[in-house]
Chain A
Amino acid sequence: FLHPPPSWDVEETLKRLQSQKRVQVIMVVNTEGIPIKSTMDNPTTTQYANLMHNFILKAWSTVREIDPQNDLTFLQIRSKKNEIMIAPDKNYFLIVIQDPTE
């Protein structure tokens, strides 16, 4: 009984996220701004990656400065039109854009 290749799990996970209600965009970006996976076109993805990178760094350093034991786990930016959710990690960011509930 072969264990399914690990990459399938990744695909599974991302598909599951995509199938959730009101989810518009999913992207995985590395810290250099290279989009690994994205449901949007390249330029927009790169723009998001670049903008998010600075923001995440700032938020992360804020949290650590207030309490060095603490760590940033999740970031949500709610705007009029949508909600940008970022799950940060040392090497990669998972960015999901969801339509806010009415």
Chain B
Amino acid sequence: MPLDWEPGATPGDAPGDGEAATWGPLLHPLPLPPTAAGTMEIVYVYVKKRSEFGKQCNFSDRQAELNIDIPPNPELAEQFVERNPVDKGIQCSTSMSEHEANTERFEMETRGINHVEGGWPKDVNPLELEQTIRFRKKVEKDENYINTIMQLGSIMEHCIKQNNAIDIYQEYFDDEDAVEVTEEAPSAKTINVFRDPQEIKRSATHLSWHPDGNRKLAVAYSCLNFQRAPEGMSHESYIWDLENPNKPEIVLKPSSPLVTLEYNPKDSHVLLGGCYNGQLACWDTRKGSLVAELSTIEFSHRDPVYGSIWLQSKTGTECFSASTDGQVMWWDIRKMSEPTEVVILDITRKEQLESALGAISLEFESTLPTKFMVGTEQGIVISCNRKAKTSAEKIVCTFSGHHGPIYALQRNPFYPKNFLTVGDWTARIWSEDSRESSIMWTKYHMAYLTDGAWSPVRPAVFFTTKMDGTLDIWDFVFKQCEPALSLKVCDEALFCLRVQDNGCFIACGSQLGTTTLLEVSNGLCTLQRNEKNTASSIFERETRREKILEARHREMRLKEKGKVEGKEDDQREEEPILTLEELVTKAEEEFFDIIFTELKKKEVEAMKKSKPVGPERGREEGWGGGTGTQGGAVGRRGGAWGRGEDTGSGGGAPGLGAPSWAR
């Protein structure tokens, strides 16, 4: 149909073909003016009588119609820049594709069948003694049997006699001591991986090994992101049997997700769990997966329980817990309705809950039963004495040095006076004697450290986990500035770590609930010759050094005080308080001064060296001049920075890079 309908044609003019409607466009399809975005709306409008709605369509062929013709708009080309030449890489070989597929994880189970009774023929009832005897007698009379046995008997006799004559598997050189293990590089390998069977993954926040035999591992799962626990997240925590990574052996069902979980070292059926809502729960695995004892919520913590440890007691039922609400509570699991004792972590010793520090790790060593230590969110370690008379006396001293929460705190199992703290980006080793600072520390890492532990067999070895999923094994009698071994365990962050008592196996839990079991090489879990002495001498030496530094600092502070007091008699001139900008300017000026003096020195030296060569000199001077102007430029820029207009790093580069370019 021709496209020349007149605008304004009324519906009545449309060519109605009777029943079935063939409606054509009534209005001239206008290409509407381009909208602001440069797109054009093309609208095709048609009108239909209401009575015709729902009628069957009567399609008919018609010729192609040009509805819209949009010519190219050369003005748009202005928005593009022509690229000439264009580089394009071409591969002149057959194109191939790579594809990998992995089957879905399938569950395997090992089962055995116990064969109880032999394959008796149908007519013999195995339970009937007579029948079986008769059968046997029949067999014994069989000629085949007799011949066979004679033959086999002679072979057997030969071998038996052989065995009696010489022991071919005799161990030689058994008496000699095992040769010292050669220096093999430390290594660790993954033995097993236990994945959280739940759909919604939670982080593995705490691990505890079974006290007897270490064949089981209890893992606490929870989501530590504040109020970000997804809907429908399960509260369950599991106990895994190391042999079976497909299914957890025991399921623990608390009312609130568990943040910590500990086996009772005296009774391997009892577990203590600290909940996210501040309660403490107790399980007996013989009784099932529901909570056996639960502390009442009014007397429990107000924040998640971050540390819970069993105490050494005759009854084996005492434990204590700490939480970020600033309280440390002692419990007896036989009576969980109330804590037996509460200590508030207020380091000003005024027992104000408002000024209390939040506890995020707890430490208790059974060889020092009256002392315990708490690592706080504020980066301070508080050492406490349980047996003090008044509550204020309970807090003995504090150690500060971390910039962030102390996620792990543990005394060295061989030298309890020294303890390891892990927090912010470092791990630090402290001595109880040195309160001002740690005696040894690692460098600042790129990722946050989340957990750490000493090796129970080697006094100089400790392990740390980081947020980038690496496990570091440090051995400071071997290497001090770096970990002896650094392993990437998984891609997500590792949250917790637990070493087995034999020092060989390490379990680490990650953010997605995956627990990895690793075995370290022999060198890292056998006590080296003389290691104890070496480690203790290192600790002593570092403690001494810190003490000396402490003494020096104290001296200097006293001197300062003395000076200040002396000046008070005269006119005391106050140093103007510099603003941040001015401090920055001052620092930059000093920095550039140093750089320039160095450059000048280099210039002079270079000039001296190449004096004999004529043309070089000109270049040298040009270079020198270049530097001068460049320096001037930088100097000017420096001035600009002084006004706080430009960032430091951008301007710095030309000042330093230019000389080489000019040359």
Contact = CB atoms under 8 A, between A and B. Distances in A.
Interface size class on chain A is: 35 or more
B152 A32 contact: no
Interface string B147-178: 01111111111011101101101100000000
A96 B140 contact: no
A63 interface: no
A17 interface: yes
Given A9-B150, A13-B150, A20 B167 contact: no
A96 B198 CA distance: 52
A61 to B, nearest CB: 20
A22 interface: yes
Interface string B107-139: 000000011111111000000000000011001
Interface in B78-126: 114-121
Contacts of A33: 115, 118-119
Contacts of B144: 91
A29 B559 CA distance: 97
B544 to A, nearest CB: 52
Given A87-B152, A92-B149, A36 B140 contact: yes
A73 interface: yes
Interface in A8-64: 9-10, 13-14, 16-17, 20-23, 28-30, 32-37, 43, 46-47, 49-50
Contacts of A94: 149, 152-153, 156
Contacts of A29: 118
A20 B135 CA distance: 29
Given A7-B140, A14-B153, A33-B115, A23 B160 contact: yes
A13 B145 CA distance: 13
B143 interface: yes
B163 A98 contact: yes
A36 B94 CA distance: 70
A49 B284 CA distance: 42
Contacts of A102: 167
B49 interface: no
B152 A7 contact: no
Contact of B139 (A30, A46, A74, A100): A30
B146 A6 contact: yes
A20 B161 contact: yes
Nearest to B166: A101
Nearest to A13: B153
B164 A46 contact: no
A87 B156 contact: yes
B663 interface: no
Nearest to B135: A34
A1 to B, nearest CB: 20
A49 B114 CA distance: 12
**Residue picked from B120, B139, B148, most chain A C-beta under 10 Å:** B148
B141 interface: yes
A57 to B, nearest CB: 15
A98 B159 CA distance: 10
Nearest to B113: A50
A74 B159 contact: yes
Interface in A78-93: 78, 83, 85, 87, 89, 91-92
B131 to A, nearest CB: 12
Contacts of B153: 10, 13-14, 16-17, 87, 94
B157 A20 contact: yes
Contacts of A70: none
A37 B120 CA distance: 15
Contact of B152 (A9, A35, A49, A92): A92
A5 to B, nearest CB: 9
A20 B121 CA distance: 34
B164 A20 contact: yes
Given A35-B118, A46-B118, A85 B146 contact: no
11 contacts: A10-B140, A13-B154, A17-B153, A17-B156, A17-B160, A20-B157, A29-B118, A34-B118, A74-B159, A76-B159, A85-B159
Q: Lowest 10 CB-CB distances: which A-B pairs, in order? A: A32-B119, A33-B118, A13-B153, A101-B167, A87-B152, A34-B118, A50-B115, A94-B152, A6-B146, A20-B160
Interface of B: 114-121, 135-136, 139-141, 143-146, 148-157, 159-161, 163-164, 166-167, 169-170
Given A32-B121, A91-B148, A98-B163, 11 more contacts: A6-B143, A9-B146, A13-B154, A34-B119, A46-B116, A50-B118, A74-B155, A89-B148, A96-B156, A101-B163, A101-B166
